[in-house]
Amino acid sequence: MNNSENKQGKVVLVGAGPGDIGLLTLNGKQWLQKADVILYDHLVNPDMIRFTQKSAEIIYVGKKEGIASMEQEQINQLLVSKAREGKTVIRLKGGDPFIFGRGGEEIQAVRTAGIAFVIVPGVTSVTGVAAYAGIPLTHRNLSSTLSIITGSNEKKQGDIHIDWEKIAARSGTLVFLMGARKLPLIVEKLMSFGKSPDTPIAVVQWGTTARQKTWTGTLGTIVEISAKDKILPPALTIIGEVVNLKPVIEWYEHLPLFGKTVVVTRKGDQAEAMIDRLQELGAEPFFFPVIETIAPDDWSPLDNALNNLSQYQGLIFTSVNGVRFFVERLKAVDQDIRELKGLRVFTIGPKTADAVRDLGIRVDVVPENFVAESLIESIGKENIEGKRFLLPRATVARETLPEQLQKMGAIVDVAPAYKTILPDTPVETLAKRLEAGSIDVITFTSSSTVKNFLALTGEKLLPAIKKAKIACIGPVTAKTAQDAGLNVEIVPEQYTVPALLDAIEIYFNSH
What are the residues binding ligand SAH (CB under 6 A)? 18-19, 43, 93-96, 99-101, 124-125, 129, 177-178, 204, 206-208, 233-236
The dihedrals phi and psi of 334, each to the nearest 5 degrees, come to: 65, 40
Shortest Å distance, C-beta 106 to ligand SAH: 12
Query: Judged by CB, which is closer to ligand SAH: 125, or 265?
Result: 125
Can you tell me the distance from the alpha carbon of 465 to that of 435, in angstroms, rounded to the nearest whole number?
8
SS3 404: helix
Query: Judged by CB, which is closer to ligand SAH: 178, or 187?
Result: 178
**Alpha-carbon distances, residue 272 vs 280, 289, 355 (angstroms):** 12, 12, 15
Of 36, 41, 96, 440, the catalytic one is 41
Query: Judged by CB, which is closer to ligand SAH: 2, or 72?
Result: 72
CB-based closest residue to ligand SAH: 95
SS3 325: helix
Can you tell me the distance from the alpha carbon of 298 to that of 414, in angstroms, rounded to the nearest whole number?
13
Q: What angle do CA 459, 462, 465 make, to 5 degrees?
A: 145
Query: Judged by CB, which is closer to ligand SAH: 100, or 346?
Result: 100
Entry field: residues in the chain: 511
Closest CA to 476 of 464, 488, 461: 488
Of 36, 48, 178, 267, the catalytic one is 178
Shortest Å distance, C-beta 503 to ligand SAH: 29
Can you tell me the distance from the alpha carbon of 160 to that of 185, in angstroms, rounded to the nearest whole number?
9
Query: Judged by CB, which is closer to ligand SAH: 18, or 314?
Result: 18
Can you tell me the distance from the alpha carbon of 405 to that of 384, in angstroms, rounded to the nearest whole number?
8
Query: Judged by CB, which is closer to ligand SAH: 99, or 271?
Result: 99
Shortest Å distance, C-beta 216 to ligand SAH: 15
3-state secondary structure 158-199: CCCCCCHHHHHHCCCEEEEECCCCCHHHHHHHHHHCCCCCCC
SS3 243: helix
Can you tell me the distance from the alpha carbon of 332 to that of 316, in angstroms, rounded to the nearest whole number?
20
Residue 159 annotated among the catalytic residues of the structure: no
Chain-centroid distance of CA 74 in Å reads 29
Shortest Å distance, C-beta 99 to ligand SAH: 4
Shortest Å distance, C-beta 430 to ligand SAH: 20
Residue 303 annotated among the catalytic residues of the structure: no
Shortest Å distance, C-beta 56 to ligand SAH: 23
Of 10, 29, 63, 419, the catalytic one is 63
Residue 178 annotated among the catalytic residues of the structure: yes
Residues with catalytic function? 41, 63, 178
